[in-house]
Structure 1
Amino acid sequence: MEQIQHPSTLLQPAWVDTIRKYAPEAEQSGKLHPAQLQLVYDQQWFNLLSPRQYGGLETPLPQLIKTEEALAWADGSLGWVVTLCCGAGWFGGFIAPGVAPKIYADEEACLAGSGAPTGTATITGDGYIINGSWKYASGVHHATYITVNCQIMDGQNPVLDTDGSPLILPFVLNRQDVQLISGWKYIGMVATGSDAYAVKNLHVNSNRCFKIDPAAAVIDSALYSYPFMQLAEATLAANLSGMAVHFLDLCKPALEFKATNIRRVNAANVLVMDEALQSATALLNQVRATFFEAVEASWQDPLNEKLLGAVSAASRMLAKISRECVDELFPFCGLLAASPDTEINRVWRDLHTASQHSLLTFLD
């Protein structure tokens, strides 16, 4: 098993300082702070998965998940926005070559979107008419383009896929053609700006439609041959891991404060808290290592269904252990952890909100 590293080893201290300095203001405004956003642009984090031929970094998945874990360790909301938006940037491997270069020509290009199939795309002579509304698009306030999943319609009749189910396909739309709707009112991930959006009677050319399938990739690269499901599971799980490591880091001073300032906490209590922190840290690192190894193995052999299944299992287990380690330690951290004005509470809220993602809920 590989020697596990702390996420901080992947980020320059100045980057972490900027991200964390402005995290409270970002939470107040409900989106990333301009200083945080400038750092994202400078380091091309929105382009981590974008095609190299369009100026992207085309980052291999094993390297990507460690970078995303590190960013989520620095701040949950920033890590999540980068993960979801660079994940949408991955679609560049499937978007028509006549459209994609225009999308990525902008140095501040950012794609955001929702996977929910809550729109319709009605076939016209030269394209589609799109209608619908979508929820929870993280980073949508920073987006230059927005993706939507639509049920394909031929007049009033749904078009069927090869298996007889309704045909669902994604589209990429200009940000100015989309109406944003305030809708993110949850306890955590507040700075992700994960608001809703809607489109009404929008005509788009047929080349705005694409298909997420290795066989439909328009760029010959290992990255766009890797299955989307495992890519999504792994990148989301890495975020929960990063937040959990951040929480455990903050536990140490919280436990020290409790040990020295609460008279009812005796030496035996201190030992219990210290052992709980050591045990949680060891367990989380063990599961992180298993997760990283599973992703690496699948990256080397992405057609191996057994290895892909191991990625799915390791991702869900990492999400589960991240939650459980944090919840075991939370009661030891005192009211400091319960105050919404503290960093440790923000991390707790972010992790428990992000962990509600449906891809990470069940172990099988």
Structure 2
Amino acid sequence: MVLEIEHPSAYLDKSLVTRIRNVAHEAERACRLQTDQLNIIYEQGWFKMYVPHEFGGLELSLPEILRIEESLAWVDGSTAWVVTLCSGAVWFIGFLDDTISNEYFHDKNVCLAGTGRATGIATITEHGYEVTGHWKYASGSFHATCFTANCLIYKDEKQVLNDDGSPLVRAFIFKKDEVNIVERWPAMGMLATTSHSFELKNVSVPANRSFIIDPLHAKLSQPVFRFPFMQLAETTLTVNLSGMALRFIDLCEDILNDENDKNLVKDKFKHSIESCKRRINDLRVLFFTSAEAGWQSIVAGDAIPAVILSEISEASHSLAQGSRQVINELYPYCGLAAADTTTEINRVWRNFHTAAQHALFRNNIS
């Protein structure tokens, strides 16, 4: 028997929900998060959810982080996406040289933006690297104190390869004043995420600002830094989609209960809403159960068994796809209100379909 799982509204203070939503439309119009939204993020420490206490972070477990991110996505997609992507980059503290962590991460407003694509070149020099590159889609770029990016490694004008012949890729952290933000984020949704591009040209970077994102290379001992990166990315991005889908359902119920709307096929709409709520509940139960199982393995000091990793990935993609199906099923019932770009339901629809275009979700479309 599949159990009920709490709605995301149970995990955030109502006053925070109101404050974030009150300026969500203005944030979209201005194409950046508003001061009050950012102040809440800093006050709550959400950019530092993974960061150990010794660096002023919250040091939360992954299940706790997933609950917060899903709740934020239910509140406002752009706010949640910035928190998810930027806190996810701050997770790299677990793999950085101690001197870098001590220099950058005690800042209470620390925020990292970056991208996983290896579209830069880092040439080995006597003192470290010389980096040139252009990277797209660095969510939170306007608020970032540092940037991270992957680079292909070159030495003496030749590309460096791994033992198996594949290109050697290393991750780097850059100071804000070393990068040039290229304002190019033309998406239909997630407009307030400032997911712009950035670039560097012939920037000298010391060797200790390069790092390897792999549990075997973790510098800090907290369990979260031993959680595999792929499943970490899948789970944290998925809850953004489920949170927005749940908000879409809420807004559909508002339309259903509008006594002034005489054009609704109310019985069919009500049946679809109830069906969608049950389906997404069941998928969320499986998702959070698998994520918890993986987390408990890590806490116990063990590697997550392959079967559980597979279950986490499968549950993530199932919930992402189920969230897409829910929104697509309910949208036609919502009339022109859902097509009006000034309404919240339209903003949620655009935000969802923009976020759902992330590369992690593109291989599981059905």
Which TM-score applies when normalising by structure 2?
Answer: 0.96
Aligned equivalent of 2:289:
293
User: CA separation in 1, counterparts of 2:266 and 2:255?
Assistant: 12
> Contact (CA 8 Å) 1:340, 1:346: kept in 2 or not?
yes
Indicate yes or no: 2:266 matched with 1:270: yes
> Contact (CA 8 Å) 1:152, 1:169: kept in 2 or not?
yes
Residue 362 of structure 1: SS of its match in structure 2? Answer: coil
Aligned AA (2:230): M
Residue 321 of structure 1: SS of its match in structure 2? Answer: helix
Structure 1 residues 217 and 250: CA distance shift in structure 2, 3 A = same
Which residues of 2 match residues 152-301 of structure 1 at below 5 A? 152-257=153-258, 260-262=260-262, 264-265=263-264, 269-301=265-297
User: CA separation in 1, counterparts of 2:290 and 2:163?
Assistant: 32
> Contact (CA 8 Å) 1:51, 1:90: kept in 2 or not?
no
Q: CA shift at 1:58, angstroms? A: 2.0
Residue 73 of structure 1: SS of its match in structure 2? Answer: helix
Residue range with higher mean Cα deviation, 238-247 or 153-162: 153-162
Aligned equivalent of 1:40:
41
Residue 114 of structure 1: SS of its match in structure 2? Answer: strand
Residue 99 of structure 1: SS of its match in structure 2? Answer: helix
User: CA separation in 1, counterparts of 2:51 and 2:146?
Assistant: 14
Structure 1 residues 221 and 2: CA distance shift in structure 2, 3 A = farther
> Contact (CA 8 Å) 2:50, 2:59: kept in 1 or not?
yes
User: CA separation in 2, counterparts of 1:261 and 1:234?
Assistant: 38
Q: CA shift at 1:53, angstroms? A: 2.4
> Contact (CA 8 Å) 2:4, 2:281: kept in 1 or not?
no
Residue range with higher mean Cα deviation, 105-114 or 297-306: 297-306
Cα deviations across residues 174-204 of structure 1 (Å, max 9, x unaligned)? 0111000011001100000000000000001
User: CA separation in 1, counterparts of 2:206 and 2:73?
Assistant: 37
**Structure 1 ranges of 4+ moved more than 6 A:** none
Aligned AA (2:36): A
Aligned equivalent of 1:129:
130
> Contact (CA 8 Å) 2:181, 2:197: kept in 1 or not?
yes
> Contact (CA 8 Å) 1:170, 1:209: kept in 2 or not?
yes
* Percentage of matched positions with identical amino acids: 44
Q: CA shift at 1:355, angstroms? A: 0.4
> Contact (CA 8 Å) 1:313, 1:363: kept in 2 or not?
no
> Contact (CA 8 Å) 2:3, 2:282: kept in 1 or not?
no
User: CA separation in 2, counterparts of 1:214 and 1:17?
Assistant: 39
User: CA separation in 2, counterparts of 1:91 and 1:99?
Assistant: 11
Indicate yes or no: 2:314 matched with 1:318: no
Residue 261 of structure 1: SS of its match in structure 2? Answer: coil
Aligned AA (1:62): P
Residue 187 of structure 1: SS of its match in structure 2? Answer: coil
Aligned AA (2:118): P
Structure 1 residues 344 and 50: CA distance shift in structure 2, 3 A = same
Residue 165 of structure 2: SS of its match in structure 1? Answer: coil
> Contact (CA 8 Å) 1:29, 1:191: kept in 2 or not?
yes
Residue range with higher mean Cα deviation, 136-145 or 153-162: 153-162
User: CA separation in 2, counterparts of 1:298 and 1:361?
Assistant: 24
Structure 1 residues 286 and 215: CA distance shift in structure 2, 3 A = same
Q: CA shift at 1:140, angstroms? A: 0.9
Aligned AA (1:261): D
Residue 15 of structure 1: SS of its match in structure 2? Answer: helix
> Contact (CA 8 Å) 1:2, 1:293: kept in 2 or not?
no
Residue 97 of structure 2: SS of its match in structure 1? Answer: coil
Q: CA shift at 1:3, angstroms? A: 3.3
Root-mean-square deviation (Å): 1.2
Aligned equivalent of 1:76:
77
> Contact (CA 8 Å) 2:4, 2:282: kept in 1 or not?
no
Residue 56 of structure 1: SS of its match in structure 2? Answer: coil
Which TM-score applies when normalising by structure 1?
Answer: 0.96
Residue 135 of structure 1: SS of its match in structure 2? Answer: strand
Aligned AA (1:271): D
User: CA separation in 2, counterparts of 1:206 and 1:53?
Assistant: 24
Cα deviations across residues 184-226 of structure 1 (Å, max 9, x unaligned)? 0011000000000000000010000000011100001211011
Residue 195 of structure 2: SS of its match in structure 1? Answer: coil
User: CA separation in 2, counterparts of 1:53 and 1:120?
Assistant: 34
